[in-house]
Structure 1
Amino acid sequence: MRKLLVVVDMQKDFVDGALGTKEAVAIVPAVIEKIKSYDKKDIFVTRDTHQPDYMETQEGHNLPVEHCVEGTAGWELDKEVAAVVDGATFVNKPTFGSVKLAEMISDIASKEEIEIELIGLCTDICVVSNALMLKAHMPEVHISVDSKCCAGVTPEKHEAALETMRSCQIDVR
């Protein structure tokens, strides 16, 4: 069975930049160790990718903090994480969940048996969105989330997102 790892939005703006938190900074070492345990060909790395007009978008109106604008320092992966993902597949996504990611992994699942593990930021926004999209595309594929390699906007929202994923038959470890 092939085991895939999805590393969600481990970007500077979410770790220690515009929307960073101490909890996000704290998971970086565990994220790096998790990444090192997978073959690079089995790793998918998402990047939240906004354009300079972000503040004029629906998301910008609801979350008026400019972040992850393509080409900026905040859009780049955390330096320590970037150092261990060379050779992975990168997926830029304009919003919380990635249809492209779900389609890419569904294509793999149509050819071989897989499991999917998710880690990253933020548990209550992009991690949960991608986990649920993957589950909707592949209801019979085992999907898990390593809670020690995720952080939410707040610890309370992190826990709420983990509970939502448990309710949707995603294995929270």
Structure 2
Amino acid sequence: MHVLIVVDMQNDFIDGALGTAEAVAIVPNVVKKIRDFDGIVLATKDTHGEDYLSTQEGKNLPVVHCVKGTEGWELNPSVAELIDEPAIEKPTFGSVRLGEVLAALSRKAPVEDITLIGLCTDICVISNAMIAKAYLPEVPVIVDASCCAGVTPASHNNALEAMKVCQIQVVNQE
């Protein structure tokens, strides 16, 4: 089985509190990738509470975003309509729960590969790619660069290069 992980394609990361032009630009690519994917599609959602600014992350990134129940926390509507399973909520960059879900899937049937797409390449995509690699070290982990955007174009590219060194395959990199 093939697994596609759609990381944090939420309104706040696309055109909301932490949105970027690059994030807006990848939405059509992400939608096409999900539509064309032959396998299991999982999604994650960055999830914070009203106390975000008092958390360690909030102290280092003092921009309130992805507060559970807000419009910014919701998946982009074009993406949401293509996701069948409930999104995995994660209060941190990387999701241990995602790793557990991947491990459970691999106990049911062989996982041939895991592809990650979404936001932000340099924070949550790289973190979850490393978790996927840690939970299923013999399964190829792939990141489709054309379906990812970082905080900046430079940090996006730095993350792609870091993932390559960690034996994560990067495809469709310009």
Please report how far the alpha carbon of residue 63 of structure 1 lies from its aligned counterpart in structure 2 after TM superposition. Answer: 0.1
Which residue matches 2:110?
113
Query: Are 2:11 and 1:12 equivalent residues in the alignment?
Result: yes
**RMSD in angstroms over aligned alpha carbons?**
1.0
Number of the residue aligned with 2:35: 36
* Map of 2:69 onto structure 1: 71
Distance 2:13 2:31 in 1: 16
Q: How does 1:122-161 map to 2 (within 5 A)?
A: 122-161=120-159
Q: 1:12: how far off? A: 0.2
The letter of the residue matching 2:26 is: I
Alignment partner of 2:162 out of 139, 161, 164: 164
Q: What residue in structure 1 maps to residue 25 of structure 2? A: 26
Ranges in structure 1 where 5+ consecutive residues have no aligned partner: none
What's the counterpart of residue 48 of structure 1?
A: 46
- Please give the alpha-carbon distance, in whole angstroms, between the structure 2 residues aligned to 1:108 and 1:163: 28
- Indicate the SS of the match to 1:110: helix
SS in 1 for 2:88: strand
Kindly state the Cα deviation for residue 83 of structure 1 after the two structures are TM-superposed.
Answer: 2.1
Check conservation: 1:96, 1:130, Cα contact below 8 A.
yes
Q: Deviations over 1:28-75 (max 9, x none)?
A: 000000011125x71110000000000000000000000000000100
* Contact 1:13–1:20, Cα closer than 8 Å, also in 2: yes
**Separation in 2, partners of 1:89, 1:142:** 24
In the alignment, structure 1 residue 58 sits paired with structure 2 residue 56: yes
Q: Name the % identity.
A: 57
Matches within 5 A, 1:97-108: 97-108=94-105
The list of structure 1 runs, each at least 4 consecutive aligned residues, that deviate by more than 3 angstroms after superposition, is none
> What TM-score, normalized to structure 1?
0.95
* SS of residue in 1 equivalent to 2:163: helix
CA contact (8 A) 1:48 1:68 kept: yes
Number of residues paired by the alignment? 170
Secondary structure at 1:144's aligned position in 2? Answer: strand
Q: Which amino acid aligns with 1:53?
A: D
User: Is this contact kept in 2: 1:123–1:151, CA < 8 A?
Assistant: yes
Identify unmatched segments of 5+ residues in structure 2: none
Instruction: State the SS of the aligned residue for 2:108.
Output: coil
